[in-house]
Structure 1
Amino acid sequence: MPGTVKTILCPVNLRHAADTTGAYATALAEAAMHDADLWVVTVAPEMERNLNIYDSEKYWGQKLREFLAANPPGAVRVQTRVLKGAAHRQIVKFALKSDIDLIVMSSANPRISDYLLGTTASHVVSHAPCSVYVVREPD
């Protein structure tokens, strides 16, 4: 990768957290190798499917803390954030705003995984201001 990697972004879909640990493990390895800071983010939808969730930022923030507790980052410096909106747009927007050097994310679409990147990963690859490392998660 050209340049120095100081800040890495790893978006995690907490609705499918068990299926995105490969990207998270890769992000941890890259952060350790480059002595980089790691942002682990999740994107909450504008409107929750379950209307009983009144404070989605608090709810998804707790789920993100649970994910990190189940998958400890070791010595890697980790910061977290809950973003709100369309995942593909929010990931790119956060990368631009936070001066991210590398995005490590998963791509999986069980219906067409043998043919295409997932739509979120495809958008991020096309629009990100930095390198994107796409980890294919097993179906």
Structure 2
Amino acid sequence: MARDAELLLCPVNLRHLETNTRAYDEAVAMARRRGARLIVATVAPEIERNLNIYNSEVYWSQQLAKFLAENPADGVEVETVVRKGAIHRQIVKLADERKVDVIVMDSANPKVQDYLLGTTASHVVTHAECSVYVVRG
């Protein structure tokens, strides 16, 4: 039985994209090389700090669509996903649910540059059932 195309997951923190898109760029390049499909996901907070955001799932879906329009993944089949909750848990949960082959993610929040591996990346590396490719920012 033939195996479907490999599936990659790239979580993006839309609050920090102005400083770094390395993990996304690497995920797109990896998907092209491997002929893989790519899930680009973002995790919205349970409670928005910005009171102007009435429906966070709609808002973050629009922001993710805008990001992809500005950073096209030509030649790669891309699916978007917006989740709510704790970022580290939602990444692992999504990867498990979708049987992702590889997670491609940033090593740390760009504001925490003193750490080799941030808390989110550390949790994902420890708990994901699949391989995790950590991109140093």
Q: TM-score, normalised by structure 1?
A: 0.90
Structure 1 residues 18-33: aligned runs within 5 Å: 18-33=18-33
Instruction: Indicate the residue corresponding to 1:102 in structure 2.
Output: 102
Separation in 2 of the partners of 1:132 and 1:18?
23
Asked if the contact 2:8/2:31 (under 8 Å) is kept, the reply is: yes
Kindly indicate whether residue 41 of structure 2 is the aligned counterpart of residue 41 of structure 1. yes
Unaligned runs of 5+ in 1: none
Instruction: Indicate the residue corresponding to 2:124 in structure 1.
Output: 124
Relative distance call for 1:59 and 1:109 in structure 2 (3 A) is closer
- Give 1:114 shift: 3.8
**1:11 is aligned with what amino acid?**
P
Separation in 2 of the partners of 1:29 and 1:113?
24
Structure 1 residues 15-94: aligned runs within 5 Å: 15-94=15-94
CA-to-partner distance for each residue in 1:12-61, whole Å, 9 max, x for gaps?
A: 00001123310001000110111000000000000001122111000000
Separation in 2 of the partners of 1:20 and 1:86?
21
Relative distance call for 1:6 and 1:59 in structure 2 (3 A) is same
Give the alignment's Cα RMSD to 1 decimal. Answer: 1.6
Instruction: Indicate the residue corresponding to 2:13 in structure 1.
Output: 13
Separation in 1 of the partners of 2:82 and 2:112?
28
**1:74 is aligned with what amino acid?**
D
Q: Secondary structure at the match of 2:16?
A: helix
Asked if the contact 2:108/2:119 (under 8 Å) is kept, the reply is: no
Percent identity, aligned pairs only? 62
Unaligned runs of 5+ in 2: none
Relative distance call for 1:130 and 1:82 in structure 2 (3 A) is same
Q: Secondary structure at the match of 1:23?
A: helix
Q: Secondary structure at the match of 1:16?
A: coil
Matched pairs, number:
134
Separation in 2 of the partners of 1:5 and 1:34?
8
Q: Secondary structure at the match of 1:83?
A: strand
